[in-house]
Structure 1
């Protein structure tokens, strides 16, 4: 067992939220979940590894799209229940929708409005 993993307050499902932030600009790119294995692998390999709740398995960011996240720095918040990954986003696309980041909707006049462009069609990114 890796002792530094014990410092984290994991939720009841054994997960912790992780924010991926552009190391150079500070832009928030995405939020995902990590289990112990994903966080340990991220620390070991220096690339972001998450746990997909929908697929119930490890998700190595960029394994299909090529949009890998090289981890520059890992931080733990004051409550020890959120991870911040400062990353170098390969390919300039972090979101599965083909956008730079996952925060492309803004609340305006009582509704969510998409404000950031699709940089690449997801059908071109995720060919099976």
Structure 2
């Protein structure tokens, strides 16, 4: 994963996506990541099956009002028990495939919402 020099006065923008990648400010990322308008960091799990409750708790550091979980190329739900840290803080969680999460993130971020996208990016075979 490349590191991005980010100026605090310009939000990070998801500028594209496709099989096995997302573009953030026109830079291509092929590994799973967590994105907010202010922050970009590698994701804690590269597959949905590797998610743990502590991973959802770490999303609280982003101070989101809503979390979008892109589950990869296919729409799949995580074990709902793992999402307890978000539920206890009344933070919304929407699960969808990664392409849909990218589209939804772009809309909500452009509206100034405190949205975080945890995007699982699966390698293309």
**Greater radius of gyration (CA):** 1
Between Structure 1 and Structure 2, the one with more helix by share is 2
Give the TM-score band, short-chain normalised. Answer: under 0.3
- TM-score norm. by structure 2 comes to 0.25
Between Structure 1 and Structure 2, the one with more strand by share is 1
- TM-score norm. by structure 1 comes to 0.24
